[in-house]
Amino acid sequence: MSAKIPYKTYLSETEIPRQWYNMNAVMKIKHEPFLNPATLQPCTADELKAVFCEDCVDQELNRKDLYIDIPEEIRNFYKMYRPSPLVRAYCLEKALGTPAKIYYKFEGNNTSGSHKLNSAVAQAYYAKKQGLKSVTTETGAGQWGTALSMACAYFGLDLTVYMVKVSSEQKPQRREVMRTYGAQVIASPSDTTEAGRKILKEFPGTGGSLGCAISEAVEKAVTSDSCRYVLGSVLDHVVLHQSVIGLESKIALEKYGEQPDIIIGCCGGGSNFGGLIAPFMGDKLQGKNNIDFIGVEPASCPSMTRGKYAYDFCDSAQITPLAKMYTLGCGFMPAPNHAGGLRYHGMSPIVSALYDQGYMRAVSVEQTKVFEAAEMFARIEGILPAPESSHAIRVAVDEALKCKETGEAKTILFGLTGTGYFDMSAYKQFNDRTMSDSIPTDADLAQGFATIPDIPLNK
Amino acid sequence: MSAKIPYKTYLSETEIPRQWYNMNAVMKIKHEPFLNPATLQPCTADELKAVFCEDCVDQELNRKDLYIDIPEEIRNFYKMYRPSPLVRAYCLEKALGTPAKIYYKFEGNNTSGSHKLNSAVAQAYYAKKQGLKSVTTETGAGQWGTALSMACAYFGLDLTVYMVKVSSEQKPQRREVMRTYGAQVIASPSDTTEAGRKILKEFPGTGGSLGCAISEAVEKAVTSDSCRYVLGSVLDHVVLHQSVIGLESKIALEKYGEQPDIIIGCCGGGSNFGGLIAPFMGDKLQGKNNIDFIGVEPASCPSMTRGKYAYDFCDSAQITPLAKMYTLGCGFMPAPNHAGGLRYHGMSPIVSALYDQGYMRAVSVEQTKVFEAAEMFARIEGILPAPESSHAIRVAVDEALKCKETGEAKTILFGLTGTGYFDMSAYKQFNDRTMSDSIPTDADLAQGFATIPDIPLNK
């Protein structure tokens, strides 16, 4: 059969999913709700709608509909870059000499360079539908900001992006792409917000963090009526939009009668991983498969493997609702020599719950090992991967090599979330052999944990 | 019918062409041969084989076989990134309000970011087949060098790339991609060759040129037995390899019963344009169609629209064979404020002959107009185009707007050769409104023309 499977499988445009897949509907134990930090009561829809777009809030709180319709306008945008290819990694399999069958779903063939566009389009559409004039967001590595710039240009929305300062300096090209799409890009922390000014005063030399950029973007959004904040990961509605990745993968694999034994994705905020696994995990939750799901995070920002499962703020200025999630503490900042993205202190509540309930594993990997895998993959498979995506490559390669030892012909699916074209300063470090790992000590972690709020629910 | 045409058409992998299309076989008046500058006699195959790979030379001189087999090893590599999509630009058509149907063949969805990979793979394969250990080349904007790095990594060849100094400074990211694929990258002019040292001495502050980088790469190749030089454009065998673009486009269009009225491509050395038009032009040469072929060049390097049709050197140090082509003179260098690629002083001999014989038109466009089209295209079609490709976009938009005036529903096909992800310093100039045009004066041109060799054939 395998000889008939092409290198790349593109579904037809009519096969682009018409509905997203909502894992919440099939979770027996639902994850804890967001809390209002002042009252410690679950956030109401109205409270959330002051920050986020209406339809996104409704999706966020929807725990009963397994399938949620994708509006035609969003599907039309999807057609500009989707379906994304499901690739059979024949060359990698051969180079590794593994009996495993390796597939990857490649989300990098669009100008944002990653999967982020899947949710950016949806959120921009809903903002426009609601009659908003503008949205704000934060961006770390720049993929999310780029994706949202593209979506806002398409739907005619103004956009302000708070870009983590260190990334903005490492990646001026990303900033320029966003500007080309008409976005205003501000390095964070900035003096344009209360939150930014406060952090600048406390940590004058800081390179910023996602948590801090979120604080600034949220502040900007809640101080205007015609503006809302949009987030590129972590939240359930973002995971929902990303389920298009898993749905397309499942349709393509089923064409070949393939059922994955292992599914691997990198985990920053968790939206790519959550979206990739969604329909497969939905089946597992219903007892229909026993897939080994592996979320891969950087050793320098190990929220699942070394974090605490607790209520924490989503931002470092502590102005957002509290989320129950695996977290290193909202004040945690990864070491500056951590090169790639995946630097968020927490993990998507739904992914955290799946991990807590034992439906998936988490693995952390050091960045030099990640770049070794990235270089190998680039040379063998012909795609220069994003550092983020290379976390998944690393573990996929490790699992394939285990198969070589045991002789098992497992089917491995991993998410190749994006390309590394804007990450060449990190690659340069690797090429120059000046890259080091940056694993936080227990003392570093303790410092972060101390920023987790001291509330009764966390006792 | 048009409602049934998807945004993107991907052929299946089995539809990847099994043969390239050789326009030379159907040209009634063949273009003039390369000459040995010492004897002014046509170069023999043996002379050329001292510089180029054997199979490439045989293809270069083949003027009788219309179809030339693509070896299986090359087709296997093609499967990693081909077939490339043929896109119906519905969004652009709507934004322009034109009755024209606009299609583009998008060659940018691979890590080299352009069509260059189509020939890089072929030339690396033939070098390996011949038992060579290494190859050398030059690169301008960096697309060709990146493509060849990828191909050499795949086939296990060493590679030295001479990168035009100004590009190397504008695009350190490109250099890093090449290094990631294992290539040695040297800024040209360099002190590693006689040619480089000579140019450095004559023009100490020069930013280099493609012609100069070619001199260095050729010198390095001819001074070693196990090394040959490979070129990314201009030559017939490169145009031949690029015919895969036109062949795939033709198959896809025929599925919808579409026959283009206009085909537009950007022209630097001419390989993308030559490859895109190949099978369509072959039909025109046989009286089977009357397509309007338009080659688009930058106003700052207008080899067809303002150049001379003469025998000239392919490099600035005057060590290569003489080619009969449209040329600005081998000593011509475009103004430093010219941002993109397409900076070669000459034009592919076969494209030059087609132009001279009246089978195609040439148009030149200013770079600010090009970037206006690029920005519009990025926002509307969701792909950030390379500055080179944007020359074709500019003219496609202009032609579509003419259709709007006349009410004609012409079918326009253009080549979108690549993405602009590594061209953000040029985009920054445009975003900052600091970009200017750089149209050579007649005096500038006269200076270049003075470097065309004074030989009897040019009288």
What does the pLDDT look like over B56-73, one tens digit per residue?
999 999 999 999 999 999
> Rounded to the nearest 5 degrees, what angle is found at the Cα of A63, between the Cα atoms of A59 and A67?
70
pLDDT band at residue A126, thresholds of 50, 70 and 90? very high
Tokens of A49: 């709608």
Tell me the pLDDT of chain A averaged across its residues. 95
Helices and strands (DSSP H and E) totals, chain A: 17, 15
What local confidence, expressed as pLDDT, does residue B338 receive? Answer: 82
Which candidate from B179, B422, B425 shows the least CB-CB separation from A421? B422
**Other C-beta atoms lying within 10 Å of the C-beta of residue A194:** 14
- Judged by CB atoms closer than 8 Å, whether chains meet at B379 and A181 is answered as yes
What confidence tens digit (pLDDT) does each residue in A259-284 have?
999 999 999 999 999 999 999 999 99
As given in the structure block, the two tokens for residue A379 are 């040379």
Helix, strand, coil content of chain B in percent (nearest 5): 45, 15, 40
B8–A13 CB contact, under 8 Å? yes
Chain B residues lying within 8 Å of A379, measured CB to CB: 150, 153-154, 181-182
Residue A37 has pLDDT above 60, yes or no: yes
Q: What is the greatest pairwise CA distance in chain B? A: 63
Give residue B315's pLDDT: 87
The pLDDT score that the predictor gives to residue A2 is 46
| Count of other CB atoms within 10 angstroms of residue B453 | 17
Q: Which residue has the higher pLDDT, A99 or B206?
A: A99
Instruction: List residues of A whose CB lies inside 8 A of any B CB.
Output: 6-8, 10, 12-13, 77, 79-81, 91, 109-111, 113, 150, 153-154, 172-173, 176-177, 179-182, 375, 378-384, 419, 421-422, 424-425, 427-428, 430-431
What chain A residue is nearest to B14 in terms of C-alpha separation? A6
Cβ–Cβ gap B180/A6 under 8 Å = no
Please state, in angstroms and rounded to a whole number, the distance separating the CA atoms of residues B233 and B119. Answer: 9
Picking from A370, A379, A416 by the largest number of B CB atoms within 10 A of its own CB, the best residue to mutate is A379
Are residues A154 and B379, on separate chains, in Cβ contact within 8 Å? Answer: yes
Q: Which of B8, B92, B93, B376 to mutate to test the interface with A (most CBs of A within 10 A)?
A: B8
Q: Cβ contact (<8 Å) for A181 and B378?
A: yes
Q: State how far residue B441 is from chain A, nearest Cα, in angstroms.
A: 31
Q: What is the mean pLDDT of residues B47-59?
A: 96
Higher per-residue pLDDT: B333 or B183: B183
pLDDT in tens, B249-270: 999 999 999 999 999 999 999 9
Nearest CA in chain B to A113: B421
Tell me the C-alpha distance between B214 and B424, whole Å: 25
Q: How confident is the model at residue B1 (pLDDT cuts 50, 70, 90)?
A: very low
Query: Over the stretch B91-121, which tens digit does the pLDDT of each residue have?
Result: 999 999 999 999 999 999 999 999 999 999 9
For residues A231-255, average pLDDT = 96
Chain B positions touching A94 (Cβ under 8 A) are: none
- pLDDT tier at B343, thresholds 50, 70, 90: confident
Which residues in A lie closer than 8 A to residue B248 (C-beta atoms)? none
For position A227, what pLDDT does the model report? 96
Mean per-residue pLDDT for B301-311? 98
Q: In this complex, do A7 and B80 lie within 8 Å of one another by their Cβ atoms?
A: yes
What's the mean pLDDT in B149-153?
98
Cα separation, A323 vs A211, whole angstroms: 13
Give the distance from CA A243 to its chain's centroid: 12
Q: What percent of chain A has pLDDT over 70?
A: 99
How confident is the model over A156-171, as a mean pLDDT? 91
For B8-18, the pLDDT digits (tens) are 999 999 999 99
Min Cα separation A392/chain B (Å) = 19
In this prediction, residue B65 carries a pLDDT of 98
* B chain contacts of residue A183, beta-carbon cutoff 8 Å: none
Contact A173 B172 (CB under 8 A): no
pLDDT-derived band at B2 (thresholds 50, 70, 90) equals very low
Alpha helices in B203-235 (DSSP H): 210-222
Collapsing DSSP to helix, strand or coil, A21 comes out as strand
**CB pair distance less than 8 Å for A81 and B379:** no
Residues of chain B in contact with residue A153, where contact means CB-CB under 8 angstroms, are 378-379
Mean pLDDT of the B15-41 span: 96
CA distance B174 to chain A (A): 8
Site from B5, B9, B10 to mutate, A interface, most A CB atoms within 10 angstroms? B10
CA distances from B260 to A406, B106, B221, B409 (A): 56, 16, 42, 11
**Given a cut of 50, is residue A41 above it in pLDDT?**
yes
**Amino acid A42: pLDDT:** 96
Report the pLDDT value the prediction gives residue A1, as an integer from 0 to 100.
Answer: 39
Residue A11: closest C-alpha in chain B: B10
Q: How far is B285 from B8, CA to CA, in rounded Å?
A: 29
CA distances from A431 to A158, A372, A419, B176, B178 (A): 39, 10, 17, 8, 10
In angstroms, the CA A437 to CA B130 distance is: 43
Inter-chain residue contact A110 with B382, CB threshold 8 Å: yes
CB-closest option in A80, A181, A431 to B176: A431
Of A150, A179, A182, the CB nearest to B382: A150
pLDDT class of B333 with cuts at 50, 70, 90: confident
Tell me the CA distances in angstroms from B407 to A301, A336, B98, B399, B402, one per residue in order: 59, 59, 8, 12, 8
pLDDT at B210 over 90: no
Higher pLDDT, B343 or B99: B99
Whether residues A424 and B176 touch (CB distance < 8 A) is answered with: yes
pLDDT at position A9 is: 93
Count of residues in chain B: 459
- How far apart CA A309 and CA A288 sit, in angstroms, is 28
Q: In chain B, which residue's Cα lies nearest the Cα of A431? A: B180
Amino acid B169: pLDDT = 87
Pairing of strands A101-106, A86-88: antiparallel
The yes-or-no verdict on residue B339 having pLDDT over 80 is: no
Interface residue of B184, B248, B379, B383 to substitute, partner A, most A CBs within 10 Å: B379
Identity of the residue in B12, B80, B430 whose CB atom sits nearest the CB atom of A382: B80
Task: Note the pLDDT of residue B340.
Answer: 73
Average pLDDT over every residue of B133-147: 92
Q: What is the mean pLDDT of residues A420-425?
A: 92
pTM of the model: 0.95
Residue type, B168: S
Say if the Cβ atoms of B111 and A382 lie within 8 Å.
Answer: yes
Q: Which of B241, B233, B347, B259 is nearest to B22 (CA)?
A: B241
Query: What single-letter amino acid sits at A287?
Result: G
Task: Note whether B7 contacts A172, CB cutoff 8 Å.
Answer: no
Residue of B nearest to A423 (CA): B173
- Is the pLDDT at B395 greater than 50? The verdict is yes
Which of A79, A173, A182 lies nearest to residue B424, judging by beta carbons? Answer: A173
Across the interface, do B79 and A375 touch by the CB < 8 Å criterion? Answer: no
Closest residue in A to B372 (Cα) is: A180
Cβ of A424 within 8 Å of Cβ of B80? The answer is no
Q: How confident is the model at residue B183 (pLDDT cuts 50, 70, 90)?
A: very high
Question: Would you call B180 and A431 a contact, using CB atoms and an 8 Å cutoff?
Answer: yes
Q: Which of A81, A424, A432, A433 is the mutation pick for testing B, counting most B CBs within 10 A?
A: A424
Do the chains contact at B172 and A424, CB–CB below 8 Å?
A: yes
pLDDT in tens, A201-229: 999 988 888 778 988 999 999 998 899 99
Indicate yes or no: CB of A172 within 8 angstroms of CB of B424.
Answer: yes
Record: contact A111-B383, CB cut-off 8 A:
yes
Report the 10 Å Cβ neighbour count for B192: 15
Residue A122 has pLDDT above 90, yes or no: yes
A431 interaction partners in chain B (CB closer than 8 Å): 176, 179-180
Structure tokens at A308: 């605490």
The interface predicted TM-score (ipTM) is 0.94
Could you give the CA distance from residue B266 to residue B348 in angstroms, rounded to a whole number?
13
> CB–CB of A298/A370 below 8 Å?
yes
Say whether pLDDT at B438 is over 90: no
Q: How confident is the model at residue A167 (pLDDT cuts 50, 70, 90)?
A: confident
- Neighbour-count burial for B261-278, b at 16+ CB within 10 Å, e otherwise: bbbbbbbbbbbbbbbbbb
Which residues partner with A42 through β-bridges? Answer: A35
Nearest-Cα distance to chain B for A181, in Å, is 6
Mutate to test the interface with B, among A118, A180, A184, A185 (most CBs of B within 10 A): A180
pLDDT, position A89: 97
Nearest in space to A86 (alpha carbons), one of A107, A101, A115, A100: A107
Mean pLDDT confidence for A352-371: 98
Q: CA angle B237-B20-B301, nearest 5°?
A: 45
pLDDT of residue A343: 85
CA trace torsion B310, B314, B317, B320 (10° rounding): -100
